[in-house]
Structure 1
């Protein structure tokens, strides 16, 4: 029997379509699930598609554990002119050129963008300046004074060249902007460039292989059991933390913020505590031996 639900707890991995902001995706998922408390784990620009993990209900309390997740992308960079947003949705900035580039020359220039570096965020970004998102200041024509941030680019491979457009694959640390890499690559090559397409293939441990689309979820609106099957199984979340099932007495102690002994014999500093097969109850930190202190309680 299908009945309308007012609350869903879990983590969903969505394949975001182009043309929607991450906020738009959150709004659509709210209407599908009836859950008001939803957060996304890493913004995707409207033009971009791909992996967008979202936490719902009590799982929003876990967002802190995903904030440093590395991201992987594929996409394309268009050479010949820069844009004010550093991507194809912006207005051309500077002179247009007819670059005479080779795959070899682009690959050589791309080698500069590997490892740890200082990166300037795009002026049209969600970075806040005195509490105001930079893109709001940029749209209003006001000065945008951003500071460079340290990012790590594990890999940046130029995989092909078709005319003035190069395809690439990149793995970059949390908080890094692929748009900025495209823009700066154009500066290095002296011809201007911008990001023409982008698809996120991985966000931490989450990949396109497990991603669902909003169109897949829409017919399940109000069906709690079916929606739960579309969410990531909680025992696979945060794989560096062992899973342990606690009895009701232990659950009661931890619900009141008290330390408790758990049947967990590894040396892991933190564990996931379950009250059943799928009911993630808490994240607990080891005090000593098998004694644990709850640090995030979901129940």
Structure 2
């Protein structure tokens, strides 16, 4: 009996210093599969939870991208960089010696970044401007003006601080490192939060560390080290049906209804009307047939999920 092609969602703890695209490349090699994608990148400097989809489960990634996220990070007050993080080049080293960086002043600056805010993304970002990535334009010395966007920061808490001195371009600079926890909506730049806190305090700031710990209901504690050859990556794949049931309500289908839905037909079901997504699950083999909306008792396909072998994912 032939082994089924890989199909599922993989939770990866991305190491520091490699890109998200590199993680995808490693997963492709480990799984022997070309069709692997991710649900939202992490900068090379950052570590933590990256969600990958393999085979037909890449269709689930669209529904994972918009999930809320939680990070731990370290913000360095006193030094600004062109990327708002430690991978960038210092652009100013104002320091903190002559600024009010008391706990009260820091809390007031952080509080301004909580709630529903308008945030201008970091210039060195993947946002497209006239069809070109902002980071490409910035690295070529072109002026980049990004529009603000509405984001939600539900938690922004300082959990520790360290006042010390660093050397920038051969000169000593007094800085304050703030350890923080941030929970936010998709599309929020933690680097930009650091930048804006530094601007409010008049010190400048950038991130020296960033780790994504939570994406929606998924925790980095359950993620694998993709570079560890001893890890069975295929066995670590979470079934698409389990992921879908974690995220959405579900409706069971008998064998005939599951086949009809797979063929694109509308199927009757006892479920309240909703724009969805609702996970349509084949009762016979506990398989995700599709994500659907419900109108007047009929299921309407949003995304179908063929099995890996049906989709020819290993071709």
The two structures have a TM-score, normalised by structure 1, of 0.89
Contact 2:74–2:208 at 8 Å: present in 1 too? yes
- Residue equivalent to 2:36: 38
Equivalent residue pairs, number: 289
Deviations 1:163-201 (A, max 9, x none): 121100011111010000101111111111100101111
CA distance in 2, matches of 1:123, 1:34: 36
- Residue equivalent to 2:236: 230
CA distance in 1, matches of 2:247, 2:294: 14
Alignment of 1:272-291 (within 5 A): 272-275=279-282, 276-277=284-285, 279-289=287-297, 291=298
CA distance in 2, matches of 1:166, 1:13: 28
Contact 2:56–2:305 at 8 Å: present in 1 too? yes
- Residue equivalent to 1:165: 177
TM-superposed deviation, 1:147: 1.0
TM-superposed deviation, 1:95: 3.6
CA distance in 2, matches of 1:150, 1:242: 28
CA distance in 2, matches of 1:126, 1:4: 38
CA distance in 1, matches of 2:271, 2:116: 37
Deviations 1:228-248 (A, max 9, x none): 531224343243533344333
CA distance in 2, matches of 1:154, 1:115: 6
CA distance in 2, matches of 1:270, 1:20: 34
TM-superposed deviation, 1:26: 0.7
SS of the aligned residue for 1:215 comes to coil
After alignment, is 164-173 or 33-42 more displaced?
A: 33-42
Contact 1:234–1:278 at 8 Å: present in 2 too? no
- Residue equivalent to 1:250: 257
- Residue equivalent to 1:223: none
Contact 1:255–1:297 at 8 Å: present in 2 too? yes
Q: Which runs of 5+ in 1 are unaligned?
A: 221-225
SS of the aligned residue for 1:106 comes to helix
After alignment, is 60-69 or 242-251 more displaced?
A: 242-251
- Residue equivalent to 1:295: 302
- Residue equivalent to 1:199: 211
Contact 1:126–1:134 at 8 Å: present in 2 too? yes
Contact 2:272–2:294 at 8 Å: present in 1 too? no
SS of the aligned residue for 1:191 comes to coil
Q: 1:253 to 1:111 in 2, by over 3 A?
A: same
Deviations 1:58-97 (A, max 9, x none): 1122222223211111111111110000001110012432
After alignment, is 66-75 or 207-216 more displaced?
A: 207-216
Across the aligned residues of Structure 1 and Structure 2, the Cα RMSD in angstroms comes to: 2.2
The two structures have a TM-score, normalised by structure 2, of 0.85
Q: 1:48 to 1:278 in 2, by over 3 A?
A: farther
- Residue equivalent to 1:214: 226
CA distance in 1, matches of 2:197, 2:79: 11
Contact 2:26–2:227 at 8 Å: present in 1 too? no
Q: 1:27 to 1:228 in 2, by over 3 A?
A: closer
**In the alignment, structure 1 residue 184 sits paired with structure 2 residue 191:** no
Q: 1:73 to 1:90 in 2, by over 3 A?
A: same
TM-superposed deviation, 1:32: 0.7
CA distance in 2, matches of 1:63, 1:89: 28
Contact 1:103–1:160 at 8 Å: present in 2 too? no
